[in-house]
Chains A and B, each alone.
Chain A
């Protein structure tokens, strides 16, 4: 499926680097930049290509074209990206992730709320899940650093936010027409609508400003949306080396089993190379990182690397939630005209103590309809009939993308499917996930609150799908299906018998192997996970730096 041409860059290993990072997405990019900036010799091994910025408009056109799949936008699919889903909800993984420099941030919506204080102590507060071995306070300075690095436009003064020491780097996005409608409904219903923190440049950062294409997820042609290729390039400017199109096949350890010695990778022409380093960081995402550790099984570690606890691949989580679309007839202005797809949200029901206790993150959409060009291309009509059809439905929609908390469960897993292999003959990953009543309760609450908002505005809910309608999962439109926010599977903990990594993100079993990514989350909260992934990666970078200095 890939239309990206194989590049002709050097694919040979770097000689004696300090750090080898597997994966050039958000979990590896900021960490690599920080370590390179502090003088460490860093090499990043990336399975996918380096995408050309000039191709982004063409990728956006794929997004708008009704006959092109979301997986085609960033050239996902084919044998390289095979997987199996055993879950009770459709999880089209290749429509949820991207492989290449920048990783899935190329594809994301750039919604970046922090986790709340309660997210780190759900067992203590509510008797569910498990407490993290670190607190919000431990991560708080790293959140601020991550927000500064990527450039977040957000509200300094807004209710229902965790405590902050300093303001956001940029003022929040301007209030959209749809935001004003949401606020009007919220005022009537006692619901606090507030600006959403977004990693979109409104002019203060050293990348292009948002130009309002309105296609943030899955392509930002202007580059106003933060994508992690920015920090990969910054890392390169500090001396790091990036080797692209070299999927790592396995990590190998030394004879005593205490240290990783090599990352073994394949080049596009089939050559195998071995990258040595003092420290290794697995940052290949919460789907592929457990797979890599399972594939790295050895005589000493027959159940996979870093798995002496037996928890590798377990306690996998995805956010639950869904999509609700409301139709408001007779609006004076289009709800879609604004640019960024999201600029406000509701966090009021995230960490209140009332039941349901599951986190609820309500992302309010600036229009919830396909682009008019998509409608035009999808239709059979032409000329005036086509215009009339588009005009009937254009600009009158509002919508909710809902993200709710799923509890970590031992039986929600990433494992290997040994019956299916990728293009290199390696077994693919199998994701087996079910959501549970806790997530259903939180989803129903969020859907109910938004439905009230639509009706308060005199509108009608025309679509409501998600965790609350799992009995009709076969009718889900693509956007409602799962797999957006993978977390867990390599969870963090103090106890080596119950977790894969320690609070510094170093594996309990191997003294020079770290894991960076959503996989280390102990519970999943309801906030979009990427900012927390970035904050944790900066914290891990500090630990690695200390260790290398020592």
Chain B
């Protein structure tokens, strides 16, 4: 299943980014749709991205997106394909709206690339999936602490790894894979009331 820009918009809704300044042009008219409406088309593909999506991505940010997609690919279930459109749409608003977060992404990728080069001799996004998994398994990524103002690796865990996990598991596309369309943190409406099993 390809994770689309629409999935990212749903995830953004959980993250409240749609409400922040600077994102309206990114979201366009779709930004006014409800999250629930967005999720009706959760399986739509990246090709559905409207023309007002960011089209000019600076080179360094393109590389950032490559790294974030590469990270998401090993964090998320194999059944889903976290496209650049998904990651870019989810993160672009934050990177532009929050200078501090953009800094965390830049320095986090530098840290990640340092670990990747030590482990497998290349930047993270250039490694095979197995090599990326090895980088995570052989370092304090995941197993180490996740601290918003901690050490370099702790910050990668908090601002990159956990942010991508929040994006996926606080949105319907991640929730549905474990049986809920409205995981906690996602504004999927209230009052869902299926009948009891017989």
Please report the C-alpha to C-alpha distance between residue A386 and residue B78 in the assembled complex, in whole angstroms: 11
User: Which of B147, B162, B180 meets A377, CB within 8 Å?
Assistant: B162
- Residues of chain A lying within 8 A (CB to CB) of residue B188: 211-212, 337, 339
Q: Are B166 and A373 in contact, CB atoms less than 8 angstroms apart?
A: yes
Please report the C-alpha to C-alpha distance between residue A334 and residue B172 in the assembled complex, in whole angstroms: 13
A382 sits at the interface (CB 8 A): yes
- Closest CB of chain A to B38's CB: distance in Å? 13
User: Which of B76, B146, B147, B175 meets A372, CB within 8 Å?
Assistant: B175
- Residues of chain A lying within 8 A (CB to CB) of residue B183: 214, 336, 371-373
A436 sits at the interface (CB 8 A): no
- Residues of chain A lying within 8 A (CB to CB) of residue B197: 331-333
B127 sits at the interface (CB 8 A): no
Please report the C-alpha to C-alpha distance between residue A174 and residue B75 in the assembled complex, in whole angstroms: 36
B92 sits at the interface (CB 8 A): no
A303 sits at the interface (CB 8 A): no
The interface bits of chain B over 157-198 (1 if a CB of A lies within 8 angstroms of the residue's CB, else 0) are: 010001001101110001101111111111111111111110
- Closest CB of chain B to A408's CB: distance in Å? 37
- Residues of chain A lying within 8 A (CB to CB) of residue B79: 384
- Closest CB of chain A to B185's CB: distance in Å? 5
The segment from A60-68, A128-136, A441-449 found at the interface with B is: A60-68
Please report the C-alpha to C-alpha distance between residue A257 and residue B170 in the assembled complex, in whole angstroms: 58
- Residues of chain B lying within 8 A (CB to CB) of residue A213: 184-187
User: Which of A68, A333, A336 meets B184, CB within 8 Å?
Assistant: A336
Please report the C-alpha to C-alpha distance between residue A211 and residue B34 in the assembled complex, in whole angstroms: 10
Please report the C-alpha to C-alpha distance between residue A180 and residue B191 in the assembled complex, in whole angstroms: 12
Q: Which A residues, 34 to 63, have Cβ-Cβ distances below 8 Å to chain B?
A: 54, 56-58, 60-61
The segment from B12-20, B25-33, B56-64, B113-121 found at the interface with A is: B12-20
Q: Are B182 and A54 in contact, CB atoms less than 8 angstroms apart?
A: no
Q: Are A221 and B191 in contact, CB atoms less than 8 angstroms apart?
A: no
Q: Which B residues, 131 to 147, have Cβ-Cβ distances below 8 Å to chain A?
A: 133, 136, 142-143, 145-147
Q: With CB as the reference atom, state the residue of chain A lying closest to B163.
A: A61
Q: Are B179 and A333 in contact, CB atoms less than 8 angstroms apart?
A: yes
Please report the C-alpha to C-alpha distance between residue A379 and residue B142 in the assembled complex, in whole angstroms: 7
Q: Are A339 and B162 in contact, CB atoms less than 8 angstroms apart?
A: no
User: Which of A180, A340, A371 meets B196, CB within 8 Å?
Assistant: A180
Please report the C-alpha to C-alpha distance between residue A258 and residue B169 in the assembled complex, in whole angstroms: 60
Q: Are A376 and B165 in contact, CB atoms less than 8 angstroms apart?
A: yes
Q: Are B190 and A371 in contact, CB atoms less than 8 angstroms apart?
A: no
B102 sits at the interface (CB 8 A): no
Known: A57-B15, A57-B19. A336 touches B190 (CB 8 A): no
Instruction: Give how many A residues have a beta carbon under 8 Å from the other chain's beta carbons.
Output: 58
Instruction: Give how many B residues have a beta carbon under 8 Å from the other chain's beta carbons.
Output: 49
- Closest CB of chain A to B178's CB: distance in Å? 4
The interface bits of chain A over 357-399 (1 if a CB of B lies within 8 angstroms of the residue's CB, else 0) are: 0000000000000011111110111111011001100110000
Q: Are B143 and A380 in contact, CB atoms less than 8 angstroms apart?
A: yes
B74 sits at the interface (CB 8 A): yes
Q: Which A residues, 175 to 196, have Cβ-Cβ distances below 8 Å to chain B?
A: 175-177, 180-181, 184
- Closest CB of chain B to A488's CB: distance in Å? 34
Most B C-beta atoms less than 10 A away, residue of A66, A68, A337: A337
- Residues of chain B lying within 8 A (CB to CB) of residue A381: 142
Please report the C-alpha to C-alpha distance between residue A54 and residue B183 in the assembled complex, in whole angstroms: 21
B50 sits at the interface (CB 8 A): no
Please report the C-alpha to C-alpha distance between residue A61 and residue B11 in the assembled complex, in whole angstroms: 13
Most B C-beta atoms less than 10 A away, residue of A202, A333, A334, A372: A372
B103 sits at the interface (CB 8 A): no
A215 sits at the interface (CB 8 A): yes
Q: Are A214 and B184 in contact, CB atoms less than 8 angstroms apart?
A: yes
Q: Are B180 and A334 in contact, CB atoms less than 8 angstroms apart?
A: yes
Please report the C-alpha to C-alpha distance between residue A377 and residue B159 in the assembled complex, in whole angstroms: 11
User: Which of A210, A333, A390 meets B178, CB within 8 Å?
Assistant: A390
- Residues of chain A lying within 8 A (CB to CB) of residue B54: none
Q: Are A391 and B179 in contact, CB atoms less than 8 angstroms apart?
A: yes
- Residues of chain B lying within 8 A (CB to CB) of residue A395: 178-180
Q: A67-B158, A373-B169 are in contact. List 14 more A-B contacts (CB 8 A).
A: A54-B19, A57-B19, A214-B183, A221-B16, A339-B190, A371-B169, A371-B183, A372-B170, A372-B174, A373-B185, A381-B142, A382-B142, A387-B178, A391-B179
Among all A-B residue pairs, the 9 with the closest Cβ atoms: A57-B16, A339-B190, A371-B184, A211-B187, A212-B190, A174-B191, A214-B184, A334-B180, A373-B169
Question: Can you name 14 A-B residue pairings with CB atoms under 8 Å?
Answer: A54-B16, A173-B191, A212-B186, A213-B187, A214-B186, A215-B184, A338-B190, A339-B182, A371-B185, A377-B165, A382-B75, A383-B133, A384-B79, A391-B179
